[in-house]
Amino acid sequence: MMESERPKDECGVFGLYKHPESAKITYFGLYALQHRGQESAGISVAGEDDKIFSHKGMGLVSDVFDIKDLEKIDGGSAIGHVRYSTTGGSVLANAQPFVVFHRGRSYAVAHNGNLVNAHLLRKELEEDGSIFQTTMDSEVFLHLFVKNLKKGDVEGALKKVISKIEGAYSFVVLTCKGEVIGIKDPNGFRPLALGKLNGHYVLASETCAFDLVQAEFIRELDPGEMVIINEDGVTSIKMDEQPEKRSLCIFEYIYFARPDSTIYGRNVYQMRKAHGNRLAEESHVDADLVMPFPDSGNYAAIGYAEQAKIPFEMAMIRNHYVGRSFIQPTQTMRDFSVRIKLNPVKELIRGKDIIIIEDSIIRGTTAKTRVEALREIGAKKVHMRISCPPHKFPCYYGIDFSSKGELIAASKTLEELQEYLGLDSLHYLSVEGMLEASGVENPENKFCKACFDGSYPVPFDPNFTKQCMG
Protein backbone atom coordinates (compact mmCIF):
# COMPACT_ATOMS: atom_id res chain seq x y z
CA MET A 1 0.00 0.00 0.00
CA MET A 2 1.00 3.64 -0.30
CA GLU A 3 2.62 5.39 2.66
CA SER A 4 -0.57 7.39 3.27
CA GLU A 5 -2.42 4.09 3.67
CA ARG A 6 0.06 2.55 6.06
CA PRO A 7 -0.43 2.67 9.82
CA LYS A 8 2.21 4.78 11.52
CA ASP A 9 4.08 4.17 14.75
CA GLU A 10 5.12 7.29 16.56
CA CYS A 11 8.88 7.09 16.84
CA GLY A 12 12.20 5.45 17.52
CA VAL A 13 14.68 6.25 20.29
CA PHE A 14 18.40 5.76 20.78
CA GLY A 15 20.82 6.50 23.62
CA LEU A 16 24.59 6.18 24.11
CA TYR A 17 26.59 6.67 27.31
CA LYS A 18 29.79 8.78 27.14
CA HIS A 19 31.39 8.02 23.82
CA PRO A 20 33.85 10.39 22.09
CA GLU A 21 31.77 10.19 18.89
CA SER A 22 28.35 9.98 20.52
CA ALA A 23 26.53 12.30 18.10
CA LYS A 24 27.87 10.53 15.01
CA ILE A 25 27.00 7.07 16.37
CA THR A 26 23.56 8.27 17.43
CA TYR A 27 23.06 9.57 13.90
CA PHE A 28 23.66 6.09 12.51
CA GLY A 29 21.48 4.56 15.20
CA LEU A 30 18.64 6.84 14.14
CA TYR A 31 19.35 6.04 10.51
CA ALA A 32 18.68 2.37 11.30
CA LEU A 33 15.43 3.36 13.04
CA GLN A 34 14.24 5.66 10.24
CA HIS A 35 11.32 3.32 9.44
CA ARG A 36 9.77 4.23 12.81
CA GLY A 37 9.38 7.91 11.96
CA GLN A 38 10.13 10.12 8.95
CA GLU A 39 8.83 13.56 9.86
CA SER A 40 11.48 14.86 12.26
CA ALA A 41 14.76 13.83 13.85
CA GLY A 42 16.88 15.14 16.69
CA ILE A 43 19.95 14.48 18.83
CA SER A 44 20.81 15.89 22.27
CA VAL A 45 24.30 15.59 23.78
CA ALA A 46 25.50 16.27 27.34
CA GLY A 47 28.75 18.24 27.07
CA GLU A 48 31.64 18.53 29.50
CA ASP A 49 30.31 21.76 31.02
CA ASP A 50 27.09 20.11 32.26
CA LYS A 51 25.03 21.58 29.45
CA ILE A 52 22.88 19.78 26.91
CA PHE A 53 23.30 20.73 23.27
CA SER A 54 20.70 19.75 20.68
CA HIS A 55 20.15 19.75 16.96
CA LYS A 56 16.83 18.74 15.44
CA GLY A 57 14.77 19.44 12.36
CA MET A 58 11.97 18.34 10.07
CA GLY A 59 12.58 15.56 7.60
CA LEU A 60 14.66 12.41 7.35
CA VAL A 61 17.79 11.85 9.43
CA SER A 62 19.99 12.42 6.38
CA ASP A 63 18.19 15.71 5.68
CA VAL A 64 18.36 17.05 9.23
CA PHE A 65 22.08 16.43 9.94
CA ASP A 66 25.32 17.01 8.12
CA ILE A 67 28.85 16.43 9.39
CA LYS A 68 29.18 20.01 10.66
CA ASP A 69 26.01 19.67 12.75
CA LEU A 70 27.30 16.46 14.32
CA GLU A 71 30.78 17.79 15.03
CA LYS A 72 29.33 20.79 16.86
CA ILE A 73 27.59 18.59 19.43
CA ASP A 74 29.83 15.49 19.43
CA GLY A 75 31.21 13.84 22.57
CA GLY A 76 29.74 12.96 25.94
CA SER A 77 26.45 11.07 26.27
CA ALA A 78 23.68 11.37 23.69
CA ILE A 79 20.08 10.48 23.01
CA GLY A 80 18.26 10.67 19.69
CA HIS A 81 14.76 10.46 18.28
CA VAL A 82 12.93 9.99 15.00
CA ARG A 83 9.27 10.95 14.96
CA TYR A 84 6.10 10.44 13.04
CA SER A 85 3.46 12.94 14.15
CA THR A 86 -0.17 11.90 14.53
CA THR A 87 -2.43 14.55 16.01
CA GLY A 88 0.48 16.20 17.83
CA GLY A 89 1.28 18.23 14.75
CA SER A 90 4.06 18.02 12.20
CA VAL A 91 5.96 21.10 13.35
CA LEU A 92 9.50 21.71 14.57
CA ALA A 93 8.31 22.65 18.07
CA ASN A 94 7.16 19.06 18.54
CA ALA A 95 10.39 17.47 17.30
CA GLN A 96 12.30 15.55 19.95
CA PRO A 97 14.38 15.14 22.09
CA PHE A 98 12.64 17.70 24.25
CA VAL A 99 14.95 19.66 26.60
CA VAL A 100 13.99 21.41 29.84
CA PHE A 101 16.08 23.68 32.09
CA HIS A 102 15.47 23.53 35.84
CA ARG A 103 17.46 25.17 38.64
CA GLY A 104 20.59 25.53 36.56
CA ARG A 105 20.45 22.02 35.16
CA SER A 106 19.09 20.62 31.92
CA TYR A 107 17.44 17.33 31.03
CA ALA A 108 16.37 15.81 27.71
CA VAL A 109 13.82 13.13 26.92
CA ALA A 110 12.80 11.12 23.86
CA HIS A 111 9.63 9.03 23.85
CA ASN A 112 8.03 6.24 21.84
CA GLY A 113 4.39 5.58 22.67
CA ASN A 114 1.39 7.42 24.02
CA LEU A 115 0.33 8.42 27.53
CA VAL A 116 -3.41 7.87 27.69
CA ASN A 117 -3.83 10.14 30.73
CA ALA A 118 -1.61 12.95 29.41
CA HIS A 119 -4.60 15.28 28.95
CA LEU A 120 -5.58 14.89 32.60
CA LEU A 121 -2.03 15.36 33.88
CA ARG A 122 -1.54 18.36 31.63
CA LYS A 123 -4.69 20.00 33.00
CA GLU A 124 -3.50 19.47 36.58
CA LEU A 125 -0.07 20.89 35.80
CA GLU A 126 -1.50 23.93 34.04
CA GLU A 127 -3.77 24.62 37.01
CA ASP A 128 -0.64 24.56 39.19
CA GLY A 129 1.04 27.13 36.93
CA SER A 130 2.97 25.04 34.39
CA ILE A 131 3.37 26.60 30.95
CA PHE A 132 3.65 24.24 27.99
CA GLN A 133 5.57 24.96 24.80
CA THR A 134 4.41 21.97 22.74
CA THR A 135 1.52 19.53 22.30
CA MET A 136 3.68 16.50 23.19
CA ASP A 137 2.87 14.16 26.03
CA SER A 138 6.66 13.93 26.44
CA GLU A 139 6.55 17.47 27.78
CA VAL A 140 3.97 16.35 30.35
CA PHE A 141 6.52 13.75 31.45
CA LEU A 142 9.23 16.38 31.86
CA HIS A 143 7.00 18.80 33.79
CA LEU A 144 6.11 16.02 36.22
CA PHE A 145 9.79 15.10 36.47
CA VAL A 146 11.06 18.54 37.46
CA LYS A 147 8.09 19.06 39.77
CA ASN A 148 9.17 15.98 41.74
CA LEU A 149 12.92 16.59 41.46
CA LYS A 150 14.16 17.22 44.98
CA LYS A 151 17.85 17.81 45.75
CA GLY A 152 18.91 16.30 42.46
CA ASP A 153 17.35 12.89 43.18
CA VAL A 154 16.75 11.86 39.56
CA GLU A 155 15.85 8.26 40.40
CA GLY A 156 13.29 9.29 43.02
CA ALA A 157 11.70 11.85 40.70
CA LEU A 158 11.39 9.35 37.86
CA LYS A 159 9.78 6.78 40.16
CA LYS A 160 7.13 9.34 41.13
CA VAL A 161 6.50 10.19 37.48
CA ILE A 162 6.12 6.55 36.55
CA SER A 163 3.58 6.10 39.34
CA LYS A 164 1.40 8.79 37.72
CA ILE A 165 1.64 8.18 33.98
CA GLU A 166 -0.44 5.55 32.18
CA GLY A 167 -0.25 4.08 28.71
CA ALA A 168 2.49 2.97 26.35
CA TYR A 169 5.98 4.35 26.73
CA SER A 170 9.61 3.64 26.12
CA PHE A 171 11.61 6.67 27.28
CA VAL A 172 15.28 7.54 27.05
CA VAL A 173 16.32 10.37 29.36
CA LEU A 174 19.59 12.33 29.33
CA THR A 175 20.83 14.37 32.31
CA CYS A 176 23.32 17.21 32.08
CA LYS A 177 25.76 15.02 34.05
CA GLY A 178 25.67 12.53 31.19
CA GLU A 179 23.51 9.83 32.74
CA VAL A 180 21.41 7.93 30.19
CA ILE A 181 18.21 6.36 31.49
CA GLY A 182 15.85 3.93 29.79
CA ILE A 183 12.28 3.35 31.00
CA LYS A 184 9.74 0.84 29.75
CA ASP A 185 6.08 0.82 30.79
CA PRO A 186 4.75 -2.04 32.98
CA ASN A 187 2.82 -3.57 30.07
CA GLY A 188 5.80 -3.46 27.71
CA PHE A 189 3.95 -2.05 24.68
CA ARG A 190 6.97 -0.66 22.83
CA PRO A 191 10.38 -2.34 22.42
CA LEU A 192 13.54 -1.05 24.09
CA ALA A 193 16.85 -2.92 24.17
CA LEU A 194 20.22 -2.59 25.91
CA GLY A 195 23.52 -3.09 24.13
CA LYS A 196 27.23 -2.33 24.47
CA LEU A 197 29.66 -0.67 22.05
CA ASN A 198 33.34 -0.98 22.99
CA GLY A 199 32.55 -0.62 26.67
CA HIS A 200 29.88 2.07 26.18
CA TYR A 201 26.27 1.14 26.92
CA VAL A 202 23.61 1.76 24.28
CA LEU A 203 19.81 1.86 24.29
CA ALA A 204 17.66 1.51 21.16
CA SER A 205 14.10 0.84 20.12
CA GLU A 206 15.25 -2.06 17.97
CA THR A 207 18.28 -4.33 17.74
CA CYS A 208 18.82 -3.42 14.07
CA ALA A 209 20.33 -0.15 15.35
CA PHE A 210 22.93 -2.14 17.30
CA ASP A 211 23.82 -4.06 14.15
CA LEU A 212 24.53 -0.90 12.20
CA VAL A 213 26.75 0.71 14.86
CA GLN A 214 28.35 -2.70 15.62
CA ALA A 215 27.15 -2.82 19.21
CA GLU A 216 26.65 -6.08 21.09
CA PHE A 217 23.04 -6.85 22.00
CA ILE A 218 22.78 -7.59 25.72
CA ARG A 219 19.06 -7.92 26.40
CA GLU A 220 15.67 -6.29 26.12
CA LEU A 221 14.42 -4.20 28.99
CA ASP A 222 11.71 -5.96 30.96
CA PRO A 223 8.25 -4.41 31.16
CA GLY A 224 8.19 -2.02 34.10
CA GLU A 225 11.98 -1.70 34.21
CA MET A 226 14.14 1.41 34.48
CA VAL A 227 17.88 1.25 33.79
CA ILE A 228 20.21 4.04 34.87
CA ILE A 229 23.52 4.14 33.00
CA ASN A 230 26.32 6.15 34.62
CA GLU A 231 29.92 5.77 35.80
CA ASP A 232 28.82 2.89 38.06
CA GLY A 233 27.58 0.89 35.07
CA VAL A 234 23.96 -0.17 34.61
CA THR A 235 21.56 -0.10 37.54
CA SER A 236 18.28 -1.93 36.98
CA ILE A 237 15.19 -0.88 38.91
CA LYS A 238 11.92 -2.78 38.69
CA MET A 239 8.70 -0.90 39.33
CA ASP A 240 6.61 -2.18 42.24
CA GLU A 241 3.35 -2.81 40.41
CA GLN A 242 3.53 -4.92 37.28
CA PRO A 243 0.49 -6.56 35.67
CA GLU A 244 0.47 -10.32 35.29
CA LYS A 245 -0.20 -9.94 31.58
CA ARG A 246 2.23 -8.26 29.21
CA SER A 247 1.05 -6.19 26.28
CA LEU A 248 3.77 -6.01 23.64
CA CYS A 249 2.18 -4.51 20.53
CA ILE A 250 1.94 -7.48 18.18
CA PHE A 251 1.86 -5.05 15.27
CA GLU A 252 5.58 -4.54 15.89
CA TYR A 253 6.01 -8.07 14.54
CA ILE A 254 3.44 -7.69 11.78
CA TYR A 255 4.54 -4.36 10.34
CA PHE A 256 6.45 -1.77 12.39
CA ALA A 257 9.76 -3.38 13.30
CA ARG A 258 12.49 -3.99 10.76
CA PRO A 259 12.71 -7.66 9.70
CA ASP A 260 16.32 -7.88 10.89
CA SER A 261 15.38 -6.89 14.46
CA THR A 262 14.81 -9.27 17.35
CA ILE A 263 11.92 -8.63 19.75
CA TYR A 264 10.89 -10.79 22.68
CA GLY A 265 13.58 -13.25 21.62
CA ARG A 266 12.06 -13.76 18.16
CA ASN A 267 13.51 -12.51 14.89
CA VAL A 268 10.91 -10.39 13.10
CA TYR A 269 11.63 -11.89 9.66
CA GLN A 270 11.08 -15.41 10.96
CA MET A 271 7.90 -14.36 12.76
CA ARG A 272 6.42 -12.84 9.59
CA LYS A 273 7.36 -15.93 7.61
CA ALA A 274 5.68 -18.11 10.27
CA HIS A 275 2.52 -16.01 9.95
CA GLY A 276 2.62 -16.68 6.21
CA ASN A 277 3.02 -20.41 6.83
CA ARG A 278 -0.01 -20.45 9.12
CA LEU A 279 -2.02 -18.29 6.72
CA ALA A 280 -1.47 -20.88 3.97
CA GLU A 281 -2.66 -23.64 6.30
CA GLU A 282 -5.83 -21.71 7.10
CA SER A 283 -6.69 -20.47 3.61
CA HIS A 284 -5.13 -22.58 0.88
CA VAL A 285 -6.34 -21.90 -2.66
CA ASP A 286 -4.98 -23.18 -5.96
CA ALA A 287 -3.12 -20.52 -7.93
CA ASP A 288 -0.23 -20.01 -10.33
CA LEU A 289 1.82 -17.75 -8.12
CA VAL A 290 2.08 -15.97 -4.75
CA MET A 291 3.10 -12.31 -4.78
CA PRO A 292 3.41 -9.52 -2.20
CA PHE A 293 2.73 -5.83 -2.46
CA PRO A 294 6.30 -4.87 -1.51
CA ASP A 295 7.71 -4.33 0.87
CA SER A 296 5.14 -4.93 3.58
CA GLY A 297 3.96 -8.36 2.46
CA ASN A 298 7.30 -9.80 1.38
CA TYR A 299 8.15 -12.08 4.28
CA ALA A 300 4.67 -13.45 4.92
CA ALA A 301 4.44 -14.14 1.18
CA ILE A 302 7.64 -16.19 1.32
CA GLY A 303 6.15 -18.23 4.15
CA TYR A 304 2.81 -18.67 2.37
CA ALA A 305 4.42 -19.82 -0.87
CA GLU A 306 6.69 -22.21 1.01
CA GLN A 307 3.81 -23.82 2.90
CA ALA A 308 1.40 -23.88 -0.06
CA LYS A 309 4.10 -25.10 -2.48
CA ILE A 310 3.12 -22.41 -4.98
CA PRO A 311 5.81 -20.38 -6.82
CA PHE A 312 6.75 -17.06 -5.21
CA GLU A 313 7.17 -14.12 -7.59
CA MET A 314 7.97 -10.45 -7.10
CA ALA A 315 5.31 -9.50 -9.63
CA MET A 316 5.13 -5.93 -8.33
CA ILE A 317 8.28 -3.85 -8.65
CA ARG A 318 8.86 -1.03 -6.21
CA ASN A 319 10.43 2.27 -7.26
CA HIS A 320 12.98 2.89 -4.49
CA TYR A 321 13.77 6.41 -5.65
CA VAL A 322 10.45 8.07 -4.93
CA GLY A 323 10.78 10.91 -2.46
CA ARG A 324 8.35 11.75 0.31
CA SER A 325 6.58 14.19 -1.98
CA PHE A 326 6.17 14.53 -5.72
CA ILE A 327 4.16 16.54 -8.24
CA GLN A 328 0.50 15.84 -7.68
CA PRO A 329 -1.32 14.25 -10.63
CA THR A 330 -4.10 15.86 -12.59
CA GLN A 331 -7.63 14.49 -12.42
CA THR A 332 -7.05 12.60 -15.66
CA MET A 333 -4.19 10.76 -13.94
CA ARG A 334 -5.89 10.28 -10.58
CA ASP A 335 -4.25 6.88 -9.99
CA PHE A 336 -0.75 8.19 -10.77
CA SER A 337 0.12 8.53 -7.08
CA VAL A 338 -0.64 4.83 -6.62
CA ARG A 339 1.34 3.64 -9.65
CA ILE A 340 4.39 5.78 -9.02
CA LYS A 341 5.64 3.52 -6.23
CA LEU A 342 4.68 0.06 -7.54
CA ASN A 343 4.45 -1.25 -11.07
CA PRO A 344 3.35 -4.78 -12.05
CA VAL A 345 5.32 -7.20 -14.21
CA LYS A 346 2.60 -7.78 -16.79
CA GLU A 347 4.08 -10.97 -18.21
CA LEU A 348 3.88 -12.69 -14.83
CA ILE A 349 0.27 -11.68 -14.19
CA ARG A 350 -1.59 -11.85 -17.50
CA GLY A 351 -3.87 -14.92 -17.67
CA LYS A 352 -2.78 -16.17 -14.24
CA ASP A 353 -4.54 -17.00 -10.97
CA ILE A 354 -2.64 -15.02 -8.37
CA ILE A 355 -2.53 -14.77 -4.57
CA ILE A 356 -1.59 -11.38 -3.14
CA ILE A 357 -0.15 -11.35 0.38
CA GLU A 358 -0.49 -8.20 2.48
CA ASP A 359 0.30 -7.58 6.14
CA SER A 360 -2.86 -5.53 6.75
CA ILE A 361 -5.72 -3.58 5.22
CA ILE A 362 -6.42 -0.33 7.03
CA ARG A 363 -8.48 1.96 4.78
CA GLY A 364 -8.57 -0.19 1.66
CA THR A 365 -8.57 2.49 -1.06
CA THR A 366 -5.08 1.79 -2.38
CA ALA A 367 -5.56 -1.99 -2.31
CA LYS A 368 -8.73 -1.52 -4.36
CA THR A 369 -6.89 0.53 -6.99
CA ARG A 370 -4.09 -2.02 -7.26
CA VAL A 371 -6.46 -4.95 -7.63
CA GLU A 372 -8.22 -3.04 -10.42
CA ALA A 373 -4.85 -2.55 -12.12
CA LEU A 374 -4.15 -6.29 -11.95
CA ARG A 375 -7.53 -7.01 -13.50
CA GLU A 376 -6.84 -4.55 -16.31
CA ILE A 377 -3.55 -6.32 -17.07
CA GLY A 378 -5.44 -9.57 -17.47
CA ALA A 379 -5.15 -11.48 -14.20
CA LYS A 380 -7.67 -14.32 -14.38
CA LYS A 381 -8.33 -14.66 -10.65
CA VAL A 382 -7.12 -12.45 -7.81
CA HIS A 383 -7.08 -13.79 -4.27
CA MET A 384 -5.86 -11.80 -1.28
CA ARG A 385 -4.52 -13.14 2.00
CA ILE A 386 -3.77 -10.90 5.01
CA SER A 387 -1.14 -12.02 7.54
CA CYS A 388 -3.00 -10.62 10.55
CA PRO A 389 -6.64 -10.45 11.72
CA PRO A 390 -8.88 -7.58 10.54
CA HIS A 391 -8.32 -4.20 12.20
CA LYS A 392 -11.66 -3.26 13.76
CA PHE A 393 -10.76 -1.07 16.72
CA PRO A 394 -8.74 2.16 17.10
CA CYS A 395 -5.41 2.23 18.91
CA TYR A 396 -4.72 4.54 21.86
CA TYR A 397 -1.18 3.36 22.51
CA GLY A 398 0.78 5.01 19.72
CA ILE A 399 -0.56 4.01 16.31
CA ASP A 400 -2.24 6.60 14.14
CA PHE A 401 -5.57 4.95 13.33
CA SER A 402 -7.66 6.58 16.04
CA SER A 403 -11.24 6.04 14.98
CA LYS A 404 -13.35 3.18 13.70
CA GLY A 405 -14.25 5.32 10.71
CA GLU A 406 -10.70 4.93 9.41
CA LEU A 407 -10.83 1.13 9.57
CA ILE A 408 -12.61 -0.47 6.63
CA ALA A 409 -12.90 -3.87 8.35
CA ALA A 410 -14.92 -2.22 11.14
CA SER A 411 -17.68 -1.20 8.72
CA LYS A 412 -17.75 -4.06 6.21
CA THR A 413 -18.22 -7.80 6.52
CA LEU A 414 -15.64 -10.07 4.94
CA GLU A 415 -17.97 -10.63 1.98
CA GLU A 416 -18.59 -6.89 1.56
CA LEU A 417 -14.89 -6.14 1.73
CA GLN A 418 -14.11 -8.86 -0.79
CA GLU A 419 -16.64 -7.36 -3.19
CA TYR A 420 -15.42 -3.80 -2.57
CA LEU A 421 -11.81 -4.77 -3.34
CA GLY A 422 -12.84 -6.75 -6.44
CA LEU A 423 -11.37 -10.06 -5.25
CA ASP A 424 -12.23 -13.67 -6.01
CA SER A 425 -11.50 -14.52 -2.38
CA LEU A 426 -10.24 -12.82 0.78
CA HIS A 427 -8.96 -14.34 3.99
CA TYR A 428 -7.39 -12.91 7.16
CA LEU A 429 -5.12 -14.83 9.51
CA SER A 430 -7.09 -15.81 12.61
CA VAL A 431 -6.22 -14.40 16.02
CA GLU A 432 -5.53 -17.93 17.23
CA GLY A 433 -3.29 -18.63 14.25
CA MET A 434 -1.41 -15.38 14.72
CA LEU A 435 -0.71 -16.11 18.38
CA GLU A 436 0.22 -19.76 17.86
CA ALA A 437 2.57 -18.87 15.00
CA SER A 438 4.39 -16.37 17.23
CA GLY A 439 6.33 -19.18 18.87
CA VAL A 440 6.16 -17.29 22.18
CA GLU A 441 5.19 -19.21 25.30
CA ASN A 442 1.70 -18.37 26.59
CA PRO A 443 1.16 -15.74 23.83
CA GLU A 444 -2.36 -14.87 24.98
CA ASN A 445 -0.80 -13.12 27.99
CA LYS A 446 2.13 -11.54 26.15
CA PHE A 447 0.64 -9.33 23.41
CA CYS A 448 -1.67 -6.36 23.01
CA LYS A 449 -4.15 -7.18 20.24
CA ALA A 450 -6.74 -4.52 21.04
CA CYS A 451 -6.91 -3.32 17.43
CA PHE A 452 -8.20 -6.79 16.53
CA ASP A 453 -10.47 -7.70 19.46
CA GLY A 454 -11.17 -4.42 21.31
CA SER A 455 -9.68 -5.75 24.56
CA TYR A 456 -7.67 -2.75 25.80
CA PRO A 457 -5.07 -3.63 28.45
CA VAL A 458 -4.82 -0.09 29.88
CA PRO A 459 -8.06 1.85 30.54
CA PHE A 460 -8.44 5.27 28.92
CA ASP A 461 -10.86 8.15 28.72
CA PRO A 462 -13.26 7.30 25.83
CA ASN A 463 -13.46 11.01 25.00
CA PHE A 464 -9.69 11.23 24.76
CA THR A 465 -8.65 11.76 21.13
CA LYS A 466 -4.87 11.69 21.48
CA GLN A 467 -4.39 15.44 21.52
CA CYS A 468 -1.10 15.07 23.39
CA MET A 469 0.72 12.48 21.34
CA GLY A 470 4.47 12.12 21.87
Looking at residue 419, its pLDDT comes to 97
- Is 242 a residue whose pLDDT tops 80? no
pLDDT, tens only, 421-461: 999 999 999 999 999 999 888 888 999 999 999 999 998 87
- Is 147 a residue whose pLDDT tops 60? yes
Q: Based on the residue annotation, tell me whether 249 is a catalytic residue of this protein.
A: no
Looking at residue 470, its pLDDT comes to 46
Looking at residue 464, its pLDDT comes to 58
CATH of domain 270-439: 3.40.50.2020
pLDDT, tens only, 266-323: 999 999 999 999 999 999 999 999 999 888 899 999 999 999 999 999 999 887 776 5
Confidence category of residue 191, pLDDT binned at 50, 70, 90? very high
How big is the chain, counted in residues? 470
d(CA 48, CA 222): 32
57: which strand partners? 41
Confidence category of residue 3, pLDDT binned at 50, 70, 90? very low
- Is 9 a residue whose pLDDT tops 80? no
Number of helices (H) and strands (E), helices first, in the chain?
16, 23
Residue boundaries of the structural domains of the chain? 3-256, 270-439
| Mean pLDDT of the residues in the chain | 89
d(CA 28, CA 213): 7
pTM to 2 decimal places: 0.90
Residue with the larger pLDDT of the pair 229 and 94: 229
Residue with the larger pLDDT of the pair 406 and 352: 352
Q: For residues 87 and 396, is the Cβ–Cβ distance under 8 A?
A: no
Q: Please give the average per-residue pLDDT across 339-347, as a whole number.
A: 83
pLDDT, tens only, 23-62: 999 999 999 999 999 999 999 999 877 899 999 999 999 9
Handedness of CA 18, 24, 25, 26 (dihedral sign): positive
Which CATH superfamily groups domain 3-256? Answer: Aminohydrolase, N-terminal nucleophile (Ntn) domain (3.60.20.10)
Which one of the listed residues 11, 176, 208, 448 is annotated catalytic? 11
Among 283, 251, 276, 302, residue whose Cα is nearest residue 414: 283
Percent of the chain at pLDDT > 70 equals: 89
d(CA 458, CA 315): 42
d(CA 337, CA 80): 32
Looking at residue 8, its pLDDT comes to 52
